[in-house]
Amino acid sequence: MTKISVKVNGKRYDVPDVEPRMLLSDFLRDRLGLTGTHVGCEHGVCGACTVLVNGDSARSCLMLAVQTDGADILTVEGLGSPEELNVLQSQFREHHGLQCGYCTPGMLMTGEDLLRKYPLATDEEIREGLSGNLCRCTGYQNIVAAIRSAAAMRTGKES
């Protein structure tokens, strides 16, 4: 067992007994009770479990919890609240960027990282950026529209 200390959504957690083989995704869900992070394929293909680790998006099923000792993690719970959605979340609602919602936490966390790192000037660029996240309901159209709109709001332009 290993002791780790992590900051998740601004709150510090000291956990004394983490088994080395525990995936970050299971740690967030089962140990911290943060079930907003969804587990899909558990081998890095679907993107549902994407979180931000020290500001960079990462598949939480492809990291061990013990690797995050000292790290600063952001999950979907840290973006906004049901009463006060953040910009990207509000655009997902505005554009109906989800149906069943299973992929949504991963889409949002990937979208956050894309918005910070890329110009996202074209739909092609948005689609390339989302290519690592699978959605089986929407056909992606409305997810792309939501991110396009959030990108335009970021630069102060009307979408």
Partner 1 sequence: MKPTKFDYVSPSTVEAVIEALVASNGDGKLLAGGQSLLPLLNFRMARPSVLIDLNRIEGLSYIKDRGDRIAIGALTRHRDIELSPLIASKLPVMSAAMRHVAHLAIRNRGTIGGSLSHADPAAELPMLAVFYDATVLIRGPHGLRMVAAEEFFVDALTSCLKPDEIVVEVEFPVLDHGGWAFEEIARRFGDFALASIALSVRRTGGGLEGARIAVMGVADTPVRLKQAERELVALPLDEQAPELCSEIIASKVSPNDDLHASGEYRMHLLKHLSRRALRTALASTDQTA
Cβ-based nearer residue to partner 1, 45 or 137: 45
CB of 122 to partner 1, least distance (A): 13
Rounded to an integer, what distance in angstroms lies between the CA atom of residue 142 and that of residue 145?
5
Q: Is 44 in the site for partner 1 (CB under 8 A)?
A: yes
Give the CA distances from residue 146 to residues 85, 87, 92, 96, 140, in Å, rounded to whole numbers and listed in that order: 13, 10, 5, 8, 10
Number of Cβ within 10 Å of residue 135's Cβ equals 23
37 neighbors 25 (Cβ within 8 angstroms): yes
Options 17, 30, 123, 128; binder of partner 1; rule CB under 8 A:
128
Q: Is 36 in the site for partner 1 (CB under 8 A)?
A: no
Kindly give the residue spans of alpha helices, DSSP state H, lying in 36-159: 87-94, 104-117, 123-129, 141-154
Stretch binding partner 1 (CB under 8 A), from 8-16, 89-97, 125-133, 136-144: 125-133
Where on the chain is the footprint of partner 1 (CB under 8 A)?
Answer: 2, 19-21, 23, 26, 42-44, 47, 50, 56-59, 61-64, 66-67, 110, 113-114, 117, 127-129, 131-133
